[in-house]
Structure 1
Amino acid sequence: MTDLWTRWTRAIDDELPAAVALRHAVHADPRGSGDEEDTARLVTAAIGAGDGIRVAKTGRAIPLPGAAADGPAVALRAELDALPVTERTGVPWASETDLMHACGHDVHLAALVAVARAAVRVEVPRPILALLQPREETSPSGALDVVESGLLAEHRVDTVIGAHVQPRLADGAVSAVPGPVNASTDEFEVVLHGQGGHAGYPHMLRDPILALSQLVVSLQQLASRRIDPVFGAVCSVGRIQAGTAANVVPNSASAAGSLRLMRAEDRERALEALAQIVHGTAAAHGCTAELRISPCEPVLHNDPALAAAAQRWLVHSGARVDHEFRSFGADDFAHYCGGETRGLMLFVGLGDTAGAPSLHDEVFLPGDDAVTRVAHALVAGYLAATEAESR
């Protein structure tokens, strides 16, 4: 296996100039969730192993041969979609639309292309399914559609590997942490109905803005007082809408946010507490409430055997292995981590210096060297899958 690592990574080095050029092309011409057809076609052509299999409407799955052609396959996943962010990086290959690859998906795609093209030049022991997945940034997720399509079972995929750039990890570090590493997420929307009117007569009104303001504060107690702090929860409100004039109290006010948990067993308790806080706060202010919950992603659980094996390969690669990183971000990769497949998500550090742009920021822009590091992480994950005991 050590010899395979050397041959494969050397072959990747040969593919890097073309992969970086592809990264720039994808970054300059991003596509939003559900509209990734052009990106999928471009990346599929760059891999050069046929047209692939259409999946999840705009995604592609591209089978690559292995020495044991009839054995179980390993899927290597990269995401196709960009975000509704206006770019402010100033690079010559910046997006000029209202979309941007502000989450590193352009890097992930380029790395997967380099790995896939190099894989056909060396004798890998197990088949590879290069998975170009759409709609990672929205719900319903592309990953869930891939799983429900039956494609992974049809191609005997028992392991799915992903790698994601992460600016909160030190440059040169790669995390391979067993167990939960990304939170589950449920999105919620609240509409409070009161009695509006003239701002000078508050005693005659039932102010939904006041109730909503208290609700936003009270929701923070859900995480701090309802969930075991060892495991934690995050309840964040990202949108508030109310009113049209400074001297008019409206009849209604609304807010939307997300609830994130690191343990699946906490979800029911947390959603019950969310409903209690919403309706109780509304009632205390003489208002009524509508609450809508939209389930998004489950907790992302890394397979322990895969994580342990990947750590050994990362050490071999010269990476500094991080054993602790977890994030309350969510990723639909979680749908690959259970049921018929096991999964491993690796996080590739970009440098956690103070003030570094975060994921989804308008100036977030990993260097082209990140393509190499993500590619090596995918190889480490693949080799871990060949060693770790299968289900």
Structure 2
Amino acid sequence: MPDPDAYEALWSALDRHLPGALDLRRRLHREPDLSGDEAATRDMVLAALPGAGAAVKTAETGAVLRIGGPGPAIGVRGEMDALPVTEETGVAWASARPGVMHACGHDTHLAALVAVAGALAETGPPVPLLAVLQPREETYPSGARDITTSGVLDSERCAAMVGVHVQPLLARGEVACTAGGVNGSSDEFEIVVRGRSGHAAYPHLTNDALLAMSEIVVALQSVVSRSVDPMAPAVVGVSSFSAGNAANVIAGTARATGTVRALASSTRELVHRRITEVAEFVARAHACTASVTITHGEPVLDNDPALVRSITHQLDRRGLPVSGNLRSLGSDDFSYFCERVPSAMLFVGTGTSEPLHSSRFLPDDGDVRALATALMAAYLGTAAALEERAGARGAPAG
């Protein structure tokens, strides 16, 4: 960790790099790229980072750039993709690409990363930093998963990961730094019921797939209320239902899809099992069969408690208001990093009435400053936690 003079020099350097980061944010906002097509965004961000020529390309349109010398490093994630949303903010630097918008704040996250990386490069990082420019946070296949399976984090000796995300549910400038599960796992299911179709005037000669599926949809509402511990958050939601195409024909096939969210891996596994059991047994009661396909998405985003403690100390040291209780069943593929190395995601309040993904969601310049401050505190807290962990093992830090 830096001594007091170096510590203050680091924060002064961050102030110097913020104007350039704010300009970058507006350029990124004006020229957004959809998931899987982020090469131009990646190159724009790399051009603003020191030593961009040493960047390692990964995950098709992503990149990793080391700032600092050899040894274990701290990864800082910046997601790059925009959303298929038509912007309605009315600002002069609104999206120039019809139907594409940075409506989730990824442009501000990238700007904060660039400010922190620039300040650390100027003053010399106490622990090397890995700027992780991640594609495809908003869609599958996950960019974070591809980065974690590519081997680049291992080859770059990534010892921990941090990230920040804007959050309109928090007061402006408030930072949520919460230990344990903070975002839920996110999976999808498809249920197909097969029965026997026939004339609606002769129901006794059919096996009604629509009726069976209707009862399955109702029965699924009891999975969380009757199978899951009331203290364990979970969601099972059916979002689509289709069956039949004629008024006088009983459907022989019905299909439904939905989402599953949970804040603990054990709950996730339990809910998956119960969905399958409910669908199969209810269908059987109607002389039908049911097949269930569950598509696994992001795991639980689990913040490392030791990192959270150390980061919270740094946030307090800078006088930032801190909340330790924000959790939701929203998902973020940052969770794949959490499975590989100790990691922490922070949420920074914008205090806006517009929600994430709204066509009018627009963090301001002050939010970029707050994000950069929180991200620097996260980096410094993680560096201190790694030093403490290395000291406990009797090994030299870094």
Distance in 1 (alpha carbons) for counterparts of 2:160 and 2:73 = 7
Shift of residue 286, structure 1, vs aligned partner: 4.2
* DSSP-derived class of the 1:120 partner: helix
Shift of residue 243, structure 1, vs aligned partner: 4.8
Q: Residue 199 of structure 1 contacts residue 247 of structure 1 at CA under 8 Å; is this kept in 2?
A: yes
Q: In the alignment, which of 353, 358, 374 is matched to residue 371 of structure 2?
A: 374
Distance in 2 (alpha carbons) for counterparts of 1:279 and 1:272 = 11
Match of 1:390 in 2: 389
Amino acid paired to 1:42: M
Residues 44-64 of structure 1: per-residue CA shift (max 9 Å, x gap): 112242231101111010111
- Structure 2 unmatched runs, 5+: 391-398
Relative distance call for 1:70 and 1:63 in structure 2 (3 A) is closer
- Residue range with higher mean Cα deviation, 314-323 or 3-12: 3-12
* DSSP-derived class of the 2:343 partner: strand
Q: In the alignment, which of 26, 42, 46 is matched to residue 48 of structure 2?
A: 46
Match of 1:332 in 2: 333
Relative distance call for 1:277 and 1:129 in structure 2 (3 A) is same
Distance in 2 (alpha carbons) for counterparts of 1:255 and 1:3 = 61
Q: In the alignment, which of 55, 67, 82 is matched to residue 64 of structure 1?
A: 67
Amino acid paired to 2:90: G
Aligned residue runs from structure 1 range 117-136, under 5 A: 117-136=118-137
Distance in 1 (alpha carbons) for counterparts of 2:242 and 2:85 = 21
Amino acid paired to 1:126: V
Q: Residue 172 of structure 1 contacts residue 348 of structure 1 at CA under 8 Å; is this kept in 2?
A: yes
Relative distance call for 1:287 and 1:366 in structure 2 (3 A) is farther
- Residue range with higher mean Cα deviation, 252-261 or 149-158: 252-261
Distance in 1 (alpha carbons) for counterparts of 2:355 and 2:198 = 42
| Higher radius of gyration, 1 or 2 | 2
Superposed CA RMSD: 2.3
Aligned residue runs from structure 1 range 203-214, under 5 A: 206-214=207-215
Relative distance call for 1:18 and 1:270 in structure 2 (3 A) is same
Shift of residue 248, structure 1, vs aligned partner: 6.0
Q: Residue 12 of structure 1 contacts residue 114 of structure 1 at CA under 8 Å; is this kept in 2?
A: yes
Shift of residue 304, structure 1, vs aligned partner: 1.0
Match of 2:178 in 1: 177
Amino acid paired to 2:194: H
Residues 121-159 of structure 1: per-residue CA shift (max 9 Å, x gap): 112211111000111122332112212222112112101
Aligned residue runs from structure 1 range 1-391, under 5 A: 1=2, 2-51=4-53, 52-65=55-68, 69-95=69-95, 96-196=97-197, 206-244=207-245, 250-339=251-340, 341-351=341-351, 356-388=353-385, 389-390=388-389
Relative distance call for 1:240 and 1:49 in structure 2 (3 A) is farther
Relative distance call for 1:253 and 1:124 in structure 2 (3 A) is same
Shift of residue 250, structure 1, vs aligned partner: 4.6
Distance in 2 (alpha carbons) for counterparts of 1:171 and 1:203 = 62
Shift of residue 185, structure 1, vs aligned partner: 2.0
Shift of residue 191, structure 1, vs aligned partner: 2.3
Residues 218-264 of structure 1: per-residue CA shift (max 9 Å, x gap): 22221111111112211123333445566765543322222111111
Distance in 2 (alpha carbons) for counterparts of 1:191 and 1:217 = 15
- Structure 1 unmatched runs, 5+: none
Shift of residue 169, structure 1, vs aligned partner: 1.7
Relative distance call for 1:242 and 1:97 in structure 2 (3 A) is farther
Shift of residue 196, structure 1, vs aligned partner: 4.8
- Residue range with higher mean Cα deviation, 81-90 or 318-327: 81-90
Q: Give the alignment's TM-score, normalised by structure 2.
A: 0.88
Residues 65-110 of structure 1: per-residue CA shift (max 9 Å, x gap): 1xxx233111111101122333333333333433322221111111
Shift of residue 202, structure 1, vs aligned partner: 6.0
* DSSP-derived class of the 1:319 partner: coil
Shift of residue 380, structure 1, vs aligned partner: 0.8
* DSSP-derived class of the 1:47 partner: coil
Shift of residue 112, structure 1, vs aligned partner: 0.7
Amino acid paired to 1:375: A
Relative distance call for 1:106 and 1:202 in structure 2 (3 A) is farther
Distance in 2 (alpha carbons) for counterparts of 1:71 and 1:121 = 19
Amino acid paired to 2:225: S
Amino acid paired to 1:342: P
Shift of residue 203, structure 1, vs aligned partner: 6.3
Query: What is the total number of aligned residue pairs between the two structures?
Result: 384
Amino acid paired to 2:56: I
Q: Residue 4 of structure 1 contacts residue 124 of structure 1 at CA under 8 Å; is this kept in 2?
A: no
Relative distance call for 1:153 and 1:91 in structure 2 (3 A) is same
Shift of residue 193, structure 1, vs aligned partner: 2.9
Q: Give the alignment's TM-score, normalised by structure 1.
A: 0.90
Relative distance call for 1:191 and 1:386 in structure 2 (3 A) is same
Residues 270-306 of structure 1: per-residue CA shift (max 9 Å, x gap): 2110101222333344433221111112112111111
Q: What is the percent sequence identity of the aligned residues?
A: 46
Q: Residue 50 of structure 2 contacts residue 121 of structure 2 at CA under 8 Å; is this kept in 1?
A: no
